[in-house]
Structure 1
Amino acid sequence: MVNYIQGAIREAIGKGKALMSKIPGSRTLGAHFASLANFANNEIKEIIDYLDTLLVDTEYSDPKNLKSKFSRFKNASGMLSKIENVVIAAMSRKSPDDDFVNKLVQEICSEINYPLPPPVASCLSQKYYHIYPDYGLICIPLLESEFVLHIPDLYHELGHPLIELANPKVEAFQTNLGYFNLTVKKHFDEEIKRREINKLDTGVFDPIYIYKDSWLQKWSVEFFCDLYATYMLGPAYLWSNLHMCTKMSWDLCKTPTHEITTHPAGDARMRCCLIALEQIGFKEEAKQIKLKWDEFMKIIGQKPSSEYFIAFPEKILKSAAEFCLTGVMQIGCQVASPSNSDKVNRLLNDSWKEFWKNPQTFYEWEKKTVAEFKSTL
């Protein structure tokens, strides 16, 4: 296997060089993808240099170190594959739709006074909206450039870099997330202590520990991104969330029992966003959204359990909304208001108003409005 790993490393180096050759030139890339190309070039070069060193490092001539060499090769290969399948793929499949969504993302970032450089956008996604903060790349489904009802989800994805990237411009936002997590920890530590005292069967595992770990490891981030989108856009984000939930999992009160989950229950997310929406002056809109949400929950037969409210207590949801709003204001983002007249904000909120006026004729209105909007962006 010594000869194998040497040959495999050499092949990976060749793959890295081949990937660099696949990065389009400036004429093909256009202005929007230039930062992504620079990132890819630099990242691939670092991986090739790393593999070159791994190839000739004499420390690995000792058989007992061979496992470590395999492990390092595996990690480097994984990084190359991710760049190939995400970054290079986004550039090589660039289309006119990508030009529009990049203009759209840049306009959104300008409107909300986004503190970081706008991410590059690609209509490449095969798993709904998602972002790669380290790559500066946001991916949306292929046809989203032609429709508007899900576009609000871009605002959620823009929240992730504010949490995941090290930048002094967003430290205050991250600090408020940290303060919120301390509140979460304190709440669940007290609840755990109370439940342990009252526990009748010591042999039964208590899911309260799963709730706590889920909040601290995953849920708080997703709630902050939801809240960020709500504060930046207003009602359209909540309508879009309802729209998404009708198409995806209907287990909207899901409460984990044995393993942490990456995303909190859909109903809890909506409850939290409704709190935030009222905070910034959209009380009537919040009431309308809640009515539709409750109607949808009734139609699909969703009823929260008692444990659901222990996992997602109202006071924690309110605390999340308060800390997030403080963080948003401290990093200087522009909070949405009922009088907001910015171009994208108006398009997305007006689209949902139009949808509810007459859902059956909305599609024709949408086609015309999107075409007009594209011509002016």
Structure 2
Amino acid sequence: MATLLNELLHDATQRADDIVNSLEAITTSGAEVEAYRDKMKRLATQARDFIARLLRDPDIDDPNYAGNYFRDYCHITRLLREIEYFSLLVLKRFNESDQRATDLVSAICRESGYPYPAPLCSAISSQYFWTIPDMDLVFMPCLEPDHVLSLPDIYHELGHFLLFRDEKRLVQPAQLIVDRHYEKMVENGKRLNWADASLELVEQYHHSWRGAWLLEFASDLIATYLIGPSFGWCNIRVATNLGGELFLGTDSHPADDARATAIGMMLTEIGFDETRQSIQKRWSELVSLAMETPPSRYDLAYPNELLRELTQFFRQECENIGLSRFETGADGRPVANMVHDCWTQFRTDPESYVKFERSQLEEVVSTIRA
């Protein structure tokens, strides 16, 4: 009788076969999509071959090694699951909207100096914009390939890809900056005899920074470096459309107000301080409309000194990587210029914006597909 591990590996073999066969059956029309399909097929084939080698291994039924084989099984099935649940799902349903979204993402990568192959983009998201960096996938809502005002968030998602691929260069040094600030804060708090509750709050915020907060702030800063004021305007739009309290962070995202502050700092760093002031004025209007105020000890969660040092760090690293800093009307950046022009038109004359956006988008899509 076969062992449980043997049964699991045979089941994984069948799943890998199904994935490979499904990928082979997909016909593509774009070079990016074909290259992505072939990459996923190679990964699934390698997983299938690895499982076959495990099943042929004479030690597979030895209980002394069962734990090691099971860990291998878990790693392989995780990969197969991601290919099936995400990559295969995207490829089997890839349509003209997805192609347009992918064309725009590819163009953004080229003109931004993004140093890796452009990810594939799928317009099937029910959770706004999000990514799976290790599978080179970006997701956006189904209507967004036909609009411009939300495109700055693509630059934010590219920030997540950079942080994933350059963790040692970007994330680890930034985390040291965070640690240093919070360690100093704890030292000062103890010296000033802060209450235990305040010191516990500091540790709680430090923990949040060591989790998702740093990645979100860093992606915002990278996006602002790449697309400039448009990301600041887009941030206001997102904060209103997605709801939530402006001064309240969650486990996965810091407070919108603190993110607006960091975006403004990067705008000043790259020479758009006057525009930063205009964006800040609009943000203040939003805060007034929402009738919200910062909670007590808000400064412990988002110290300005920490945000400023992180802004300077990521501005320098963006330059070191060779990313293209946003400049108004720069040559060779049709998508960035379109995004900037659309946001300018929207703020100047929102009533006539729809027609302007449509003509701008069609012109740029035709250009990047030529």
Fold agreement, TM-score > 0.5:
yes
| Identity over aligned pairs, percent | 27
More displaced 10-residue stretch of structure 1: 211-220 or 199-208: 199-208
- Aligned partner of 1:368: which letter? S
CA distance in 2: counterparts of 1:205 and 1:60, whole angstroms: 52
The Cα offsets for residues 233-261 of structure 1, whole Å up to 9 and x where unpaired, read as 111111111111112142221256xxxx2
CA distance in 2: counterparts of 1:297 and 1:204, whole angstroms: 26
TM-score with structure 1 setting the length: 0.88
**Are 1:348 and 2:339 matched, yes or no?**
yes
**Are 1:232 and 2:223 matched, yes or no?**
no
Name 2:100's counterpart in structure 1: 100
- Aligned partner of 1:146: which letter? D
Pairs within 5 Å for 1:144-155: 144-155=144-155
CA 1:205–1:249 in structure 2 vs 1: closer, same or farther (change >3 Å)?
farther
Aligned residues between the structures? 367
Pairs within 5 Å for 1:290-305: 290-305=280-295
The Cα offsets for residues 41-81 of structure 1, whole Å up to 9 and x where unpaired, read as 22212322332244344545355765665555444333212
Kept after mapping to 2: 8 A contact 1:29/1:91? no
CA distance in 2: counterparts of 1:46 and 1:354, whole angstroms: 50
Name 1:263's counterpart in structure 2: 253
TM-fit CA distance, 1:317: 0.9
More displaced 10-residue stretch of structure 1: 174-183 or 238-247: 174-183
- Aligned partner of 2:223: which letter? A
Name 2:20's counterpart in structure 1: 20
TM-fit CA distance, 1:84: 0.6
CA distance in 1: counterparts of 2:197 and 2:305, whole angstroms: 30
More displaced 10-residue stretch of structure 1: 272-281 or 357-366: 357-366
TM-fit CA distance, 1:321: 0.9
**Are 1:160 and 2:160 matched, yes or no?**
yes
The Cα offsets for residues 265-289 of structure 1, whole Å up to 9 and x where unpaired, read as 1111110010111221212211111
Name 1:180's counterpart in structure 2: 174
CA distance in 2: counterparts of 1:2 and 1:192, whole angstroms: 57
Pairs within 5 Å for 1:1-377: 3-24=3-24, 28-62=28-62, 72-165=72-165, 174-175=168-169, 177-199=171-193, 202=196, 206-255=200-249, 261-341=251-331, 342-377=333-368
CA 1:329–1:24 in structure 2 vs 1: closer, same or farther (change >3 Å)?
same
Kept after mapping to 2: 8 A contact 1:98/1:123? yes
Kept after mapping to 2: 8 A contact 1:122/1:138? yes
- Aligned partner of 1:221: which letter? L
The Cα offsets for residues 151-197 of structure 1, whole Å up to 9 and x where unpaired, read as 1111111112222215xxxx8xx535443332221111111122234
- Aligned partner of 2:345: which letter? E
Report SS of the residue matched to 1:338. Answer: coil
TM-score with structure 2 setting the length: 0.89
Q: Give the gaps of 5 or more residues in structure 2.
A: none
Superposition RMSD in Å:
2.6
Kept after mapping to 2: 8 A contact 1:180/1:319? no
Kept after mapping to 2: 8 A contact 1:113/1:332? yes
